[in-house]
Structure 1
């Protein structure tokens, strides 16, 4: 392509495309938006969905994809083959230097590199690059590209500031004063520009004016944001006050810390939700919260309280983002769901466990009891400066265990409850949040609709504010409605709200059970029939987050159809995509959804939807637990209902991932099943998730679920279910160290098993009772219980159980010094495990054989056994057993005198334990340090 035919794309101003000296005609705003989206990614594929977002943002019509294809076709008529298709998406065939954005970025990067040796030349290069700007970036396009325009403007300002630094460094201060004065007027809170103006004035002999600039900035920050100037601006101010003729350079952007300086051993959580877009008002509350930062002699707690929808969370999150940089060790956040319509507030133990996970505490180190967990949590925060945000708290009892004990931390709590007990006992500072003032409500609408739109219909704006009762949530939804229907006048919108039936009830803000149904209905009415039905039936899900498969089961459709409905709800702002493929909505929308379900879906329909959803969880969980524990006992499940969507999991890794993603749903689903009369589902689901909960350390949660399961099985008249649930309760009591409770539960299960004549159940109960005895130091009793388990498994013809029991007997014999007998039992176990195809059991038995041979002094045979176990564990991906076997293999090598081999085995085990965050890693690391063999 010759120079005359070369296309140039200009985005730094009005969007234009030139071919040589000729500007090509692109008259449509939508065409310019598509062109700009492609030109921002030259030489890269841009999806049709991304182009839809560029044109319509979140408010795209149903025909958006077709319209985008037509827009691209028209652009091709102008640009020729500059736009090509790749797998149904599009790409602009252009080099970065054909787009002024690319030329600008390249020029600025070159200037920054040049500044190291020649700041004067760098300043000239920056000025030259800035001449590419012909006005505000991406002018003449649709609002869908507003975020990209903002990012480009930030790059322009950053380049300007860099250039000013270089000019100030070469003595150009006097010539910059006028330009900087104008820019500071345009960006009064941009501290780097303010610092540059102060420095230019001071060096020009105008120190009084420099100090006045600082004073105005200080007042503006305090009034608008309830903040003080940053440390660098304050330091510059002090230097000028001292009449330093050459204070340090103006404020520069923070440089990233070098890798060597980062803290790799301590997790730094960043859990704050996304910053609140368009936040307005609440100046006095922001100022009060910021004032708490100066109190460093005591534990600081702020309790933001107010009614539903008043903006407690918005205030807490907005302020937290403003001050996040003052908490160098991170920010913790949890939604305690204290007033969730499901009636399932987050338990303090679950919240603390989430915080400890975020702080990098290995699961194995987390104690079982709430008091011990709270103590560990406070210890983790003792020497760290962390902001803790406890959102939507139920009451004082729920939050008290979550409070740090360190004066370096600050806790912000939001709740509908005044939390009076916390104010009295912990000295919490109450920050009551009332309805918005008229001025604040006006600013909120203006931030979303633009002041120009409001100025056209001032009376209608006042009506809307009053009709929404000054409630931020209602005002925000009104603004969204206006955005969704740009041709609708504000007066007509106010008329619709005024005329809606039972408006006062619709806008009642006094209780969580009362929703803003009139406001929500505006978005609801725009939904397709499929999305509306999805919205109604979502209220049956216990929450807090629902997957596509669970949602598909609720409505009885395919996953693709369900995902389309969920995406439509997300676009309508009736749902949020919490993470990829997982959706959630807040409590007011849930209440509205439940009301619509009661109105529009009969009891039989709701019952069938609940049945399908519970089938999804039960059948998927049962299949997943069999993948984690083959060959496990199996429940006799009733075939799932038509329309229930059961996830197909390929292996134990996918099973584990599924359990982890759904963990928070299980206890609520089990309780919901029991409350709705699905008692068999309740106990069978509790059993199906039990093995995962034990492995993952969710023991307190499991106790609650198994207690619900036992009662459900009793109501259903299913004693087998009672026994199975009692055994699982006994297993988890063992993990919690509650051995008396474990023994009592297992004895109840054994009694039921005996009355039912369930030999396998009796065997399982005896096997687990053996673990209780072993844990309490009663090794002979544990051995006898293992033998009783074997006899019962043998009588029942349960070969997999026989193999487990034989290996357990062999292991107990090694603990009692009966190593020769252990070899005989383990050999039988190995043969049976191979016969039933249990590779996990086979690997475990090879490990037991290795231990027995080691204790008999038969080191070479022990090494062979351990290697056999390792080979199987590696194939199975069983990482923790690998590490255990490698440690025992190292001990065998050490006793045999081969210290180098021992060291190699332990070195192989260490990274596995480190990856698992297992506490044994530190023990092994110390062993390696003490016993490093001589070269």
Structure 2
């Protein structure tokens, strides 16, 4: 639905909603607009907006809605018993549509064609888009019938006028939408016949007759049966032009007089002319059936060079990725290699017809193109295929077999010898052709940014591309290198030279694939993708839709099993089928991902809300429970949290040891963060902070400080919704910890003192001890070493009172560290030595590494550089073993300091260079540059 513009009323024929408040408020405007100029009673408005069960205050609410609409300058007037929208009927596109349609019914054909084209052109989608309720649904369905009726009227006029160039494409799409509408079927049969596609027309009649019998238990009506009979009899009136003269064939002719069809004609060829001497065979034509290559083809030089001029090659890829473009570009470039001709067939494996072309039809088309007399063509399909192989044996021919559904559809079209070359394009990977018939496969991916830029330049000109460079960059990014998407955008921009490219980028950003829709299904990305989806089984389509809404940029098999609720083996089989259909890609790590546009299309797959919600719940629980296990493996001494059991079907991934846990976190990191945002959107506030907790150890060990801060900020928002002081204490504390990591010390101290106050108020001794430890760190970073030491001593007393050896060891190391920072080295050494003994006794290896780092610092600052180097090396080895790359880098830098202080310049250079490389890998560019400067200052 669209609001604004003409008289600022509601355009009810279709479009997208503008911002006019709640849906029911927009429904009020629609309910008035359909009866523009006439009073609509309050009772009728209430029924239209709320149905037969309105709320108690429906009248008051209706009055409020009308008042708001009137403030938006919509001309709504209160009259006796109701409201009226005072506007010219021509200002409402529904009434404009009806007026144009009614005028066309009494006009001559040329005028009627113009009026109906304008009427049909007003539609931009379903009517009353964005509104629900019984009235809106019923009105939408009724208006859809009016639209179809007008489209059929328009088609009949165009058929009478002979304007049927694009009718087959349009009617194929319409027939797919209305498979039981006999009027549409009559039109499509007529258009197919006039396009020379007699076999296709007869096949479509057979399908419609079967559908009517299966779905309605009836036979085709008189009009459809009559059209079928006229086609069987080759009624010349079906080709009549407006003047009543017999029309010539609608198949275009090349200068040489040969058909220039884009696929083999399935109509029987004409008999030899009467003046051909008996017994003298007519010369067989050399078929030249290649369609023209699209003008916007650019790039793909590497792929073109990889295509082999011999044997069979399968070009596989997603719908719209440019398979046919590539095949035709190569075919035209290499046509001189095939003097005996080039054959082309579109097998319609994916398209509006819904049913792929049967192989015998394609074989018969090839035989016709090769000039075989119909009397010589055997009846048996296998014999026809054998005859085809005999005719092309030893010939140098090129066969382009486009849009194949599966291997079985292609096999009868393969020549028997090695002299011919076959290019097959398909959205499926056709493994049977590669394994059984030795075909090569070329998997086609998206265009590079440079190739996409070249496409825009070729289509729009260098000046426009240069003048709107930023918008072009945005469009390339939004299209993701998808050739069909790029071609559609470039075509629209070319057709509207005054339209800013930034406007097209905005539409694509907001609407995704919907912005790339078009009346021509072959130029509509959503339609092209829908053909791929239609070819899936119900289970595959369901999983395809769920993958479109899965959190994270990619997904692994275990998470996908959790998402779908299927057993892992079944999930793997479905994912493999989607990969074969080129709707999914699997990378070298075994991760599955979709192109962004395919993913946004997949997300619109109809899935019941309850099933969608359950799937998202499962995949979040998969991440939560697996990550919980991972953190417990990485830091078994961390105070655990309590989780609810995972949702049925979630199946957490087993992690046998810390190394496996760290590897899993590395792989799933982005997915876990996305799962946290998904949990927040679902209102699962407890899960949100729990996911942040599961990530903390990994974040700190890998140096993902900013991700850690973002996760805890999200957790803080969630904790505000929970009336749980223990949770809020923990979240304030860990948010403070994350803030210290990124240097935001003042904000960190604020959260830490709030956590301390909550812990003291609830007598939460565990959190009090942890807050004191973190406050020590934050205050030390602010330069208040004395206060840092005070809080460290508070933490030590609490952990001793709790009889927590691991916590006590950490606190001992804290006291020793801050004492060392103040120059109190004897006390520092004593506490750190005690901490090291406790850590080793309880096998807390991370604590052991941090304490060795503290002892090294003390040794360095008391002049014992040999001891410092030894402790730093031991700490560094432990950090690396534990996967703590952040701490390993910092320890390596301090190791270099000790080497330099002891006069070992070469060793210092090696340690600093290693630390700089690690800082750079962690995205800590300033630290890396600082070390590079120090390296530059070292003597050679």
Q: State TM-score, norm by structure 1.
A: 0.47
Name which one, 1 or 2, has greater alpha-carbon Rg: 2
